[in-house]
Structure 1
Amino acid sequence: MSGVAPQEGVGNYFIYKPVHGASTAFAVLFAISGFAHIWQNNLKYRSYRIGFLLPWASLIFTAGFVLREYGSYHTDNLGIFIASQVLLFVAPPVYNGANYFIFSRALYYLPYLSPIHPGRVWSTFITLDGLVDIMAGNGAARAVNAGASEAERKAGMDLVKVSLFLLLGMFLAFTFLNVQFHYRARRRGVFNYRMKVIMYELYASNLLILLRNCFRTAAFFYPWDSVANSQEWPVWVFEFVPMLINSYIMNVYPPAKYLPANHKVYLAVDGETEIEGPGLIDKRPFLITFVDPFDVVGIITKKDQKNRYWLKDGIGGPLPETQPSAEEAPVISHEAGVQKTAG
């Protein structure tokens, strides 16, 4: 990787001679995308949680490219080199975090199809992602530090390799949940236009992130003088451009436009009516829900504590023998637009 055996005349830390201007262009493009995310998701559709991680990822990329552009003119500046490498390395996983939250909101919208408590999708995956990111960032800082010993650089590369494989494993697990939810929605006839946009958007985003992760994983196993590491174009083609496309896909189809800002609003089982319910409540302690997000114990013991309020709204589903309690009874949401027809 970078920082090992640099070419003559390039400087102390880059293997290849970095091109001037491209990083500035990408910094501007990511900044524009980030401001668009803020306008679309936070201000226009007022979904602050959905709109937090997307501009955050763009901000990290913008900062990383600004430093990379400066570093392309000061290739002997170790601090700038390391900072730019780490920022550009840890930014893409933030898009993973955004996808986790978007999918979580989709599960809240169709709670009767959720294979996992929606609130635990984000908390479980983002916690694991955070741990992996810490490992990856630490390893990347060591691996690109030409001032470190060979053993320290090797240890850094090993950390990055492990983190990348963990990310690939988490990606497969997350994609499996996406596909399972998609299949259930189609089978139940509630895969409306909103869900089509969200799910296909998630698939496209996941594919772009997978392309980036596969490239990063492969690059760390190739020698420093391979095409993947000794030339600049692969990192642009297989990482930077896909991440820019990913960010702008979220601009073209802002998630907050298709998902209710209020996570308690759900689509009744008739596939047409939007209702504001009590929200999917898991009465187990948080630590237990984190360790067992699928409530495997409850399923086995038949003591699943999920509040199936969608069976008690009288719309499209069987009515309970007794009336629901005031706590469980959903209320009709005028904001949601009762009797909205699914696209």
Structure 2
Amino acid sequence: MPGQARPPGPAHGASIAFAILFTISGTGHIWQNNLKYRSYRIGFLLPWAAFLFTAGFTLREYGSYNTNNLGVFIASQVLLFIAPPVYNGANYFIFGRALYYLPYLSLIHPGRVWTTFVALDAAADVVAANGVVRVANARAEPSAIKAGLDLVKISLFLLMGMFLAFMALNIHFHYRAVKAGVFNYKLKVIMYELYASNLLILLRNCFRTAAFFYPWHSLANGKEWPLWVFEFVPMVVNTYLMNIYPPAKYLPANHKIYLAMDGKTELEGPGMVDKRHFLWTLFDPFDVKGIVQGKDKKNRYWLSDGIGGPLIEAQSSGAELSVIHQGGQTVKTEA
């Protein structure tokens, strides 16, 4: 039917080759992030995403020899569809850890980056998974297939919107780090890696979104090579990018370690403490209420570490400030 996005029949061999590539990458993620650098949280999502691809491609290869097995076909489609958003989740966590590293530049509580965006992603994934199951089932009624197609379209637009919001946070943080003079080598690697990863995921999402608006006999849906070029290959590049530059190598495993405002000294602080109720931090991660009322409850421990000073306030206000350290406390006076 017009507008129905039916994936092309899988060719023999290619899927198992990609399953092997993702298995190697996932194993590498475990070794690099979990075992070598002891960062279990950073190392959790990357291998999970890789092994989802491994399972999806394995089932896809099996399905290429058993074309009448509808269950295997549907399972492979769902796995290959939900695996890329897990890489999104990994990027959310990596960015959140970068915010912990520079807490004085964060617009949002670092611990809420992952929970906020993953919660939104999960909602979109539930919608997408329900849609993919209906679209992939050739025995379903046309109305059910159309409803599934609409669900997938909605989920893809939701993901695109969240992606743009996440990129805006990345760019804003990058800008503030450069302006504050604390954009060191570690942050450069992390931020440029996130940009590259986000662009690869964006390429995949754009292709997926476009494919669902073209008929099943179009080039996007009637041939197999666009699927490999615009979706699977970018995901392979993305996973190996994270192997070449393992995030745990550049970010402290301990989220309480932060970079002082001199841009050189790493210290262990108390961590970002938000005294609001957890539900408030979840539904109002930017603490808009506190900002409006002038009562945000951030613990600005970086102002009393004896090293830095109110650099951000000085730059934003344009006033020249002198910093005097007295008894371990930072006193701000206008010059």
Taking structure 2 as the reference length, what is the TM-score of the superposition? 0.92
CA contact (8 A) 1:313 1:319 kept: no
Instruction: Measure, in 2, the Cα distance between the counterparts of 1:171 and 1:209.
Output: 9
Question: 1:51 is matched with which residue?
Answer: 43
Task: Name the residue aligned to 2:315.
Answer: none
Moved over 3 A (4+): 14-17, 318-324
Deviations 1:272-331 (A, max 9, x none): 10000000100000111111110111111100100000000010214576756xxxxxxx
2:19 to 27, 34, 37: 27
Aligned residue runs from structure 1 range 155-174, under 5 A: 155-174=147-166
CA distance in 1, matches of 2:255, 2:325: 24
Where in structure 1 are there 5+ consecutive unaligned residues? 6-13, 325-343
Aligned to 1:309: 301
Structure 1 residues 120-164: Cα deviation after superposition (integer angstroms, max 9, x where no partner)? 100000111111111111110111101111111111110000000
Letter in 2 for 1:178: N
Cα distance in structure 2, aligned partners of 1:15 and 1:313: 57
For residues 2-35 of structure 1, give each alpha carbon's deviation from its aligned partner in whole angstroms, at most 9, with x where no partner exists.
9x79xxxxxxxx7644211000000000000000
Q: Distance in 1 between matches of 2:106 and 2:157?
A: 27
Residues 1:104 and 2:101 aligned together: no
Matched, 1:260 2:264: no
Give the structure 2 partner of residue 9 of structure 1.
Answer: none
Q: From 264, 271, 282, give the equivalent of 2:263.
A: 271
Structure-2 change in CA distance of 1:33 and 1:23 (3 Å): same
Task: Quote the Cα distance in structure 2 between the aligned partners of 1:22 and 1:136.
Answer: 25
Residue in structure 2 matching 1:245, options 233, 237, 252: 237
- Distance in 2, Cα, partners of 1:246 & 1:15: 22
CA RMSD of aligned residues (A): 1.7
Q: 2: CA distance between counterparts of 1:297 and 1:137?
A: 35
User: 1:115 & 1:316 partners in 2: Cα distance?
Assistant: 19
Classify the secondary structure of the residue corresponding to 1:275. Answer: strand
User: 1 CA distance for matches of 2:185 and 2:177?
Assistant: 12
CA distance in 2, matches of 1:42, 1:200: 22
1:93 aligns with 2:92: no
Match of 2:109 among 108, 117, 140: 117
1:219 aligns with 2:217: no
Letter in 2 for 1:103: F
What code does the residue aligned with 2:221 have?
Answer: N
Please give the alpha-carbon distance, in whole angstroms, between the structure 2 residues aligned to 1:320 and 1:293. Answer: 32
- Residue 7 (structure 2) pairs with residue 42 (structure 1): no
Alignment pair present for 1:135 and 2:147: no
Q: Is the 8 A contact 2:302 2:308 kept in 1?
A: no
Of 65, 77, 81, which aligns to 2:57?
A: 65
Distance 1:87 1:319 in 2: 57
Does the CA-based 8 Å contact 1:312-1:319 persist in structure 2?
A: no
TM-score (norm: length of structure 1): 0.89
C-alpha contact (below 8 Å) 2:96/2:114 kept by paired residues: yes
Q: Deviations over 1:82-105 (max 9, x none)?
A: 000000000000000000000000
Seen in structure 2, the aligned counterparts of structure 1 residues 275 and 21 have a Cα distance that, compared at 3 Å, is same
**d(CA) in 1 for partners of 2:8, 2:201:** 25
Supply the distance in 2 between the matched residues of 1:93 and 1:36 (Cα, whole angstroms).
20
- Give matches, 1:326-341, under 5 Å: none
Deviations 1:200-247 (A, max 9, x none): 000000000000000000000001110000100010000000000000
**Is structure 2 residue 273 aligned with structure 1 residue 281?**
yes
Letter in 1 for 2:116: T
1:176 to 168, 175, 178: 168
Amino acid at match of 1:295: D
Q: Return the alpha-carbon distance in structure 2 between the equivalents of residues 41 and 322 of structure 1.
A: 39
Q: Structure 2: which 5+ residue stretches go unaligned?
A: 310-322, 330-335
Question: What SS does the aligned partner of 1:116 have?
Answer: coil
Contact persistence 2:156–2:205 (CA under 8 A): yes
Q: State the identity %.
A: 73
Out of 315-324 and 232-241, give the one that drifted further.
315-324
For each residue in 1:46-77, what CA deviation from the matched residue of structure 2 results, as whole angstroms up to 9, or x when unmatched? 00000000000001000000000011111111
311-320 or 72-81, which moves further after superposition? Answer: 311-320
Distance 1:288 1:197 in 2: 33
- Aligned residue identity for 2:109: H
For the residues of structure 1 that align with 2:46 and 2:16, how far apart are their CA atoms? Answer: 20
